[in-house]
Amino acid sequence: MGNLDIITGILIAANVLISYKGFGDFNFFNKYKFHVGSIKGGEQIRLFSSGFLHADTQHLLFNMLTLYFFADVVITLLSPIQFLFVYIGSLLVGSLLSLYFHKNEYSYSAVGASGAVSGVIYSAILLQPGMNLYLFFIPIPIPAYLFGIGYLLYSIYGMKNRIGNIGHDAHFGGAIGGYLITLFLSPWLFQTNLLMIGLLALPIILLFVLKRMGKI
């Protein structure tokens, strides 16, 4: 992991340039951030543009480092163009799920590439579930599929309890996007990783069951 493909480089550059424009231009930031009232008023471009803005340098750096480490898995096992489909599709699904959960909160706003990056992470896990991840606060390797399931379960917990100033729903939506798009692009996974497909689907099913029950 960690090779810089040209597509990954372009996406990182776009995020950096647009985010820094937003850091220094409040009007630009407000015009293109995710904002429920404005989107429902017809400004659907915000569903896409908000994914290239960030709240601060730390937020930007974390997302871009994560993208850098996981993008190569998806590019290698799919292709650069298919990776781009995963990235953009996950960004949009993340924004749409966020809109679905906050549709009656007209003042709700958010920014960040986290939905797109979550989709890339989930795609990489689906394509290579046996890889191990090393997290800086845990000294032992974690199987990728356990991390993916745990990540989404934490996102559900975060959505339910409104933990932190974090768009947990966009993260979750991005992961759903990465999951579905990867399966569409790689139907061979149903022959090789059917059990893993089922396991990774469990948190997604749980989310919509809880939503239907009014628990979220």
Q: Along the 216 residues of the chain, how does pLDDT read in single tens digits?
A: 445 789 999 999 999 999 999 999 999 999 999 999 999 999 999 999 999 999 899 989 989 998 998 999 999 999 999 999 999 999 999 999 999 989 999 999 999 999 999 999 999 999 998 888 776 566 778 888 888 888 888 878 877 776 555 677 888 999 999 999 999 999 999 999 898 899 999 998 998 888 888 877
Farthest-apart Cα atoms in the chain, separation: 50
Give tens-digit pLDDT for 158-185.
777 765 556 778 889 999 999 999 999 9
Residue 132 has a CB neighbour count (10 Å cut-off) of 11
Please indicate, yes or no, if residue 31 is contained in any of the structural domains: yes
Domain residue limits at 120? 6-212
Say if strands 34-35 and 132-133 run parallel, antiparallel, or are unpaired. unpaired
Instruction: Judge whether 12 lies within some domain.
Output: yes
**1, part of any domain:** no
- Contact present, 156 and 210 (Cβ < 8 Å): yes
| Distance between CA atoms of residues 130 and 145, nearest Å | 7
Residue 96 lies in a domain: yes
Question: Per-residue b/e over 134-165, b at no fewer than 16 CB within 10 Å?
Answer: eeeeeeeeeebbebbbebbeebbebbeeeeee
Contact 124, 69 (CB under 8 A): no
Q: What are phi and psi of 2, to 5 degrees?
A: 105, 5
Q: In which element (H, E) is residue 35 found?
A: strand 34-35
Residue 19 lies in a domain: yes
What pLDDT score does 179 carry? Answer: 96
- What CA–CA distances, in Å, run from 103 to 28, 39, 50, 145, 157? 23, 10, 16, 31, 20
Count of the separate structural domains present in the chain: 1
SS3 57: helix
What's 47's domain CATH number? 1.20.1540.10
- End-to-end alpha-carbon separation of the chain, Å? 36
DSSP tag of 180: H
N residues, the chain: 216
